[in-house]
Each structure stands twice: as C-alpha cells, then as structure tokens.
Amino acid sequence: MASIRDVAKKANVAACTVSRVLNNSGYVAPETRDKIEKAIKELNYIPNELARGMFRQKAGIIAMLVPNIVHPFFSTLASYIEKELYKNGYKLMLCSTDDDIKKEKDYMETLKSNIVDGVISGVSNLKVKEYKDFNKPLVMLDCIINPKIPVVASNHKLGGELAARKFIESGCKNVIHICDTKATKVLSYQCHVSLEKILKSNNIEATAIEIKWNDFDFEGYLKLAKKVLMENERIDGVFAADMPASAFLKAAVQLNKSVPKDFCVVAYDGTYTTNSNILNITTVVQQVSIIASKAVENILALIEEGKIIESYTEVDIYLREGETSFKSIGNQSFSP
C-alpha cells in the first residue's frame, strides 16, 4: 500500500507539500498540485485519516459513548449525530459501554490519546472528577457534571407533565411507570418525578416499577409486562420507554386485554418502534434530530473555537397522539 512518502517521491516534492494538498491548507502552486494529484491517482493512494491528523494536529473524528448500541433511542440518536458530523467534515466513532463502569473507563482512557478530537457522551457512570479531568472537549447528554462541560437534554419535566395530562384525560386512576433503578443520575428521570407528582395531586395512584433497563431485550420486557398485568388487575395506565411500551401492547394481546379499553399506554422517546405495532402508541417525543444538531454544534464550538455556546441546552418535547389512549373530552381540569 502506497504511503505519503511514496507520493512525494513520485511527484518529486516534500511530504509536507503532499500533506498541504491532502488537507487543502497553505499555498501549493497549480502545476505542483497537478503533479501530486496525478501521483496519488497512479499509486492509488488512500490517505489514512489518523496519519493526516498527526500532520494537522486534528483527527477529524469524534467519539460518541452510548450505553447500548441496539437501544432504539441511542441507535437513532447516533445516526443523526453521524449525519451532522459528516456534514461538518468529521467522522463518528461509536463506542457502546453496555452501561458497564469498567468499559466506560477503558474507553475514556483510550480516547485521551490523539485518536479523536472530542467526545459526545450518553453515559455517566464515572466519578465527576474523571469527567472534569478528561483532556478532550466533552459534551454530555442528559447529565450535568459541571458548568465547564456543556449538556444537551430534552425538557423531561414537560415530558412527564404531558404524559400525566394524557392519563388524566383518558380517565385513568391507577398508573404504573417503568423506570431504571439508577435513573436518578440522569436528567430523563425528571419525567418520572413530574408524572408522579401531577398524578398524585389529582388523586391518581402512580406506582414506579424499577428495573435495570440494560438487562432487558424485547422478550425480557414482554415477560415483565405479562407479569405486571397479571399481578395488578387494577392497572389502567402504563408509562414506559418505547420498547417496554411496545411489549405491554403485545402482552395485552396475549392476555386477551384491549388497549386502550382495559388500560392506556403512553410511551416515552418517540422512536420508530412506536409506529411498528398493531396500534400506533401515544408517545411523548424527544426531538432526536435537534438533540443531535445541538450536541454537534456544542462539540464543534469546543474543538474549533475553544468556547462553550451554552452550558445547558434544553430541547423541547411534545405529545404525539396515537391509538393507545383516549382523546380529551371537553374541558379537563387538573392540578399541576
């Protein structure tokens, strides 16, 4: 495989001149540029992104840490972030930690080298000091570390309010919500706090069922849904992320229950899974494309300008009506 030095030798120029052509930086005489481009073509030279990065002190790569690469929300978010980065001349390195502290620590140690220009992280299991001491530009998703590390998050408090209103409008009296056992570390937990507060202030039972979400695939969620429904006959409302919400729909079919007649379902996230069921699920939607755009905007500002645009960026959220809840009948009042 040809190297940058092979190209330089064939074109009879210095390697640094070839580098200027590859990086489109600095002046190179047109006739010299033509010779270099001809040599590149004849040698079938493919520039190594990391080697180019060493010349210009920039890798052109940004890492994204996610807790699970197959989770619908994170896979969708990663897809949007990749598109945003590519538009801006960067590539994405995707790192899945499986929500494991050791794995996250290993990735963070590796990324401290010149392999990437910055990191967008959707995981936050390490100690605060480890993030503060990280020597690369860092943007967090859904977790506040300190004011010097920008955060991008949805308005989860509003998300919980929208879900609560929908259960109230649907006439529900006994709602369960599925949440992570350690979700209090992340801002998305605010939706559960907000939901429970509003439901209880309107004399509606609200019961949290805590799980470690990374231990479950769809079949695991389906077993959980069937168990919950069989043990709690009074349930008339279910609030959960997209995948477990879909599992409750399937469980209803297997248990000869009818949605929304027997119980309503409101999902949280708004990924493709909410529209790939027997019924379209009523969903509180996180605007993933905007989250991605804001995360990329923040990380590029840190890398290229060394500045923080906003220490905290909040993205709006909305309710998408589906077929798993009842529409409002007349004027409904509720206590906030």
- Percent of the residues in the chain that have a pLDDT greater than 70, as a whole number: 91
Q: In whole angstroms, what is the distance from residue 255 CA to residue 231 CA? A: 12
**Which pLDDT score, from 0 to 100, does residue 63 have?**
96
Question: Greater confidence, 131 or 176?
Answer: 176
**Which pLDDT score, from 0 to 100, does residue 127 have?**
85
Q: In whole angstroms, what is the distance from residue 282 CA to residue 277 CA? A: 12
CB 49 within 8 A of CB 59: yes
Question: pLDDT of 63-73, one tens digit each?
Answer: 999 998 888 99
**Which pLDDT score, from 0 to 100, does residue 331 have?**
46
Q: In whole angstroms, what is the distance from residue 125 CA to residue 182 CA? A: 10
Q: In whole angstroms, what is the distance from residue 281 CA to residue 192 CA? A: 18
CATH 1.10.260.40 location in the chain:
4-56
Query: How would residue 94 be classed by pLDDT, with cut points 50, 70 and 90?
Result: very high
What average pLDDT does the structure give for the chain?
89
Residue 154 has pLDDT above 90, yes or no: yes
DSSP string for 79-124? HHHHHHHHHTT-EEEEEE-TT-HHHHHHHHHHHTSTT-SEEEES--
Question: pLDDT of 16-30, one tens digit each?
Answer: 888 788 776 678 898
Query: How would residue 50 be classed by pLDDT, with cut points 50, 70 and 90?
Result: low
Residue 102 has pLDDT above 50, yes or no: yes
CATH 3.40.50.2300 location in the chain:
61-153+289-316, 156-286
Residue 145 has pLDDT above 90, yes or no: no
Tell me which fold the domain 61-153+289-316 belongs to.
Rossmann fold (3.40.50)
Question: pLDDT of 263-277, one tens digit each?
Answer: 999 999 999 999 888
Q: Mean per-residue pLDDT for 161-173? A: 97
CA 130, 132, 137, 140 torsion: positive or negative? Answer: positive
* CATH no., domain 156-286: 3.40.50.2300
Residue 223 has pLDDT above 60, yes or no: yes
Residue 280 has pLDDT above 80, yes or no: yes
The domain 4-56 is placed in CATH, from the list 1.10.260.40, 1.10.3720.10, 1.20.140.10, 3.40.50.970, at: 1.10.260.40
**Which pLDDT score, from 0 to 100, does residue 269 have?**
96
- In the numeric block, the tokens 């991008």 are attached to 152
Q: SS in 3 state form for 150-198? A: CEEEECHHHHHHHHHHHHHHCCCCEEEEEEECCHHHCHHHHHHHHHHHH
What contacts 1, CB < 8 A, 6 or more positions away? 46
Report DSSP state, residue 145: -
Among 302, 328, 327, 298, residue whose Cα is nearest residue 312: 298
**Which pLDDT score, from 0 to 100, does residue 168 have?**
97
What contacts 315, CB < 8 A, 6 or more positions away? 152, 153, 154, 155, 286, 287, 290, 291, 294
